[in-house]
Amino acid sequence: MRTFLDRLYSLSGAIAAAFICAITLIVLAQVLANLIDSVASMVLGAPFGLVVPSYANFAGYFLTGATFFALPYALKRGAHIRVTLVIQALGPKTRQVVEVWCILVGLAIAGFFTWYTFGLVAASYRYGDMSTGMVAIPIWIPQGALVLGGAVLTIALLDELVVALRGGTPAHERANVGILADVSEAERDTDAGRGGRG
């Protein structure tokens, strides 16, 4: 079960990362098309009119995918920021109670979020809503990222709750070096760098 869940979070993180690569590629393709067109209008006097169809819409949809698929992965890695000033000062017993409270609040909101975004997607599906633009796709497909990401986030929070209730340290806390993700990254890297240089 542990392995399965951890793989699920890594998988959702990998999907999110793939979406970020996809944003880069689709935007680069459009930039390249613009470049070719401006060269063409200089050389030939007229542009080809190259354009990646609906690239702006798709970049937005990919971003939704990247954000929501990354949610559980970012949670487990302690990337979501929180104010730890008060809870750092608490004793281990109280801290555990507060930690359970935080997870419960998160769980309630994630569950609520998943339920109602599912409602949104179901409505889009039922009414056959399409995206606007040159390439119209059913809008429930990109909206589905909200539901899937929300659902895995809910599972991840349940997982954290079970760990915390058993008296263990939830993963988001173990990973939480700094508060801002890039700070903890930077610290970890410089520490590693120092170790490497000896």
List residues binding other proteins (CB under 8 A): 13, 16-17, 20-21, 23-24, 27-28, 30-31, 34, 56-57, 59-64, 66-68, 70-71, 73-74, 77, 79-87, 98-99, 101-102, 105-106, 109-110, 112-113, 115-117, 119-120, 142-143, 146, 178-183, 185-187, 189-191, 193
Q: Which is nearer to other proteins, 5 or 60 (CB)?
A: 60
Q: Which is nearer to other proteins, 1 or 196 (CB)?
A: 196
3-state secondary structure 143-154: HHHHHHHHHHHH
Query: Can you list the positions of beta strands (E) in the chain?
Result: none
Q: Which is nearer to other proteins, 142 or 155 (CB)?
A: 142
With contact defined as beta carbons under 8 Å apart, do 87 and 51 qualify? no
For the CB of residue 44, give the shortest distance to other proteins in the complex, in Å: 19
Q: Which is nearer to other proteins, 1 or 175 (CB)?
A: 175
With contact defined as beta carbons under 8 Å apart, do 99 and 164 qualify? yes
CB 76: neighbour CB atoms within 10 A? 23
**Integer Cα distance of 56 and 52 in angstroms:** 9
Q: Quick one: DSSP state of residue 80?
A: S
**Integer Cα distance of 64 and 23 in angstroms:** 11
For the CB of residue 13, give the shortest distance to other proteins in the complex, in Å: 6
For the CB of residue 120, give the shortest distance to other proteins in the complex, in Å: 4
For the CB of residue 178, give the shortest distance to other proteins in the complex, in Å: 5
